[in-house]
């Protein structure tokens, strides 16, 4: 399992250590992992560990974004299928965004939406990849397709913005 790094900036280490020491003294026993994370976050001025994580700016994968941008032409259409799986998944988000939310679609409707956003002729690959990357789902017989509602990743949001800026400019 990969670790998600949470950077912590402490402006006043002296105040932090005093607060943490006091919190540890108040504990009846050595705290576990979650309790220790909560104590550290509180000593740093956050309400709890979740608050610390929420306030931490996430680092975008600029290399993946750069590679994804190369796949799209000046009009925002996908010109080719990327080689790397990570970049493929990122490049599928604009197609996910084109699919209407909370609506059943036929295969023909999905194909039309995908073909609008691509400059090469392999909408079947994109349709299957949307399913494989858990961005859309379909019935077993393939008659009904539906977008899976979820929050786009920070990289996907950045890709949306960059594609919009490129096609506008």
pLDDT in tens, 71-113: 999 999 999 999 999 999 999 999 999 999 999 999 999 999 9
pLDDT in tens, 108-155: 999 999 999 999 999 999 999 999 999 999 999 999 999 999 999 999
pLDDT in tens, 42-79: 888 888 888 887 776 667 889 999 999 999 999 999 99
Q: In this structure, what are the phi and psi dihedrals at residue 138, rounded to the nearest 5 degrees?
A: -140, 160
Output the CA–CA distances (angstroms, integers) from residue 52 to 25, 108, 147, in the order listed: 22, 46, 32
pLDDT in tens, 11-24: 888 888 898 999 99
The model's pTM is: 0.68
Q: Are 149 and 101 in contact (CB under 8 A)?
A: yes
């Amino acid at each position: 399992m990969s670790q998600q790094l949470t950077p912590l900036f402490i402006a006043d280490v002296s105040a932090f250590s005093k607060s943490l020491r006091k919190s540890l003294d108040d504990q009846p026993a050595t705290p576990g992992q979650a309790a220790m994370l909560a104590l550290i976050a509180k000593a740093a001025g956050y309400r709890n560990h979740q608050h610390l994580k929420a306030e931490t700016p996430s680092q975008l994968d600029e290399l993946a974004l750069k590679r994804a941008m190369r796949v799209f032409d000046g009009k925002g259409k996908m010109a080719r299928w990327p080689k790397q799986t990570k970049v493929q998944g990122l490049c599928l988000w604009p197609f996910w965004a084109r699919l209407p939310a909370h609506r059943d679609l036929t295969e023909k409707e999905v194909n039309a939406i995908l073909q609008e956003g691509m400059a090469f002729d392999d909408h079947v690959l994109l349709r299957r990849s949307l399913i494989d990357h858990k961005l859309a789902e379909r019935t077993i017989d393939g008659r009904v397709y539906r977008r899976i509602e979820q929050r786009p990743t920070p990289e996907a949001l950045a890709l949306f913005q960059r594609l919009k800026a490129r096609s506008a400019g």
